[in-house]
Structure 1
Amino acid sequence: MSQQNIFEALRESHELQRNLYRRLTETSGDTPERQELFLQLKTELAAHELAEDRNFYAPLMQLDAGMDLSRHAISEHHQIDELVESLEKADPATPAWLPLAKKLAEKVEHHLKEEEHRFFQMAGKLLTEKQKTSLAGDYLTDYDEAKAATA
């Protein structure tokens, strides 16, 4: 079996993020389920972002053709972080919490679609096959360490 490439590794986390935000936005009230799903999503987003910035966007920024897309993606990561912070400060029992969670879900989905349908294609042309495999290993190491650090 061939080794995983960076795009496959990133898509695994993308699918987990989608599953978590869909389940989160179906919750109501300040329940243990809502709190647990939010914690899982927050952890997943943070681990993915850290590992992706280091092992996908930073290498792409080294290339002129990868600079703009990397900056854009990192900017979106910051916007997602701000929405997560807003949710942390909001009371999950109030009616305002769910619309904020849905806004986070929409932002995350926009970002994931953009990555999968635009950024991955461009990066696929810029990175060698060896880089794609090597970056996947580095990404998974950083991702696993980041998730373990929050556990």
Structure 2
Amino acid sequence: MTAPNIYDALRESHEIQRTVFRKLLRSKAGSQARIALFTQARHELAAHEAAEERYLYAPMMMHDMGLATSRHALHEHHQVDELVEHLQALDPAGDAWIEQARALSHEVHHHLREEERKFFQVSGKLLTDTQKVKLAGHYRRDYRRMHRLLTAE
């Protein structure tokens, strides 16, 4: 059995994101469950993005072949962050909130698919197996640290 690599670690968070958004979009308007799920989604996205940018995108940007892909992924993270910020300003009981939540879910799902189908393949060619295993450890530590910081807010 091979050691877990960066892609294994990222896919774990991707599955959490998919599950949280599925539940969020089914939640009742204005309910405590909706608010809790949105908080969970915000924290998951923020922790994942920070650790991923540090331990996958930054190493990828050290390679010419990884620049464009990394820049595109960073741009999508920024778009997700803007959607989250807009959603925070809306009433969770309103129609506008659920429409914005659907837009956010769509953007997150698009990003995850693109990452898993394209970015992982590009980065897989540029990183060594040893790097992939080391980056997984760094990613997981930073991801947990970010979760602790976000839940302490």
Query: Is TM-score (shorter-chain normalized) higher than 0.5?
Result: yes
2:67 is matched with 67
2:82 is matched with 82
Distance 2:140 2:3 in 1: 12
1:21 is matched with 21
1:32 is matched with 32
Measured after TM superposition, the shift of residue 2 of structure 1 is: 3.3
The answer on whether the counterparts of 1:28 and 1:98 sit within 8 Å (CA) in structure 2 is: no
Normalising by structure 1, we get a TM-score of 0.98
Normalising by structure 2, we get a TM-score of 0.97
Runs of 4+ off more than 4 Å: none
Deviation digits for residues 58-110 of structure 1 (CA, Å, limit 9, x no counterpart): 00001000000000000000000000001100111111110100000000000
Structure 2 residues not aligned, in runs of 5+ = none
SS in structure 1 at match of 2:27 = coil
Identity %: 51
Distance 1:104 1:144 in 2: 23
Measured after TM superposition, the shift of residue 13 of structure 1 is: 0.1
| Residue identity in the other structure for 2:109 | E
The answer on whether the counterparts of 1:87 and 1:100 sit within 8 Å (CA) in structure 2 is: yes
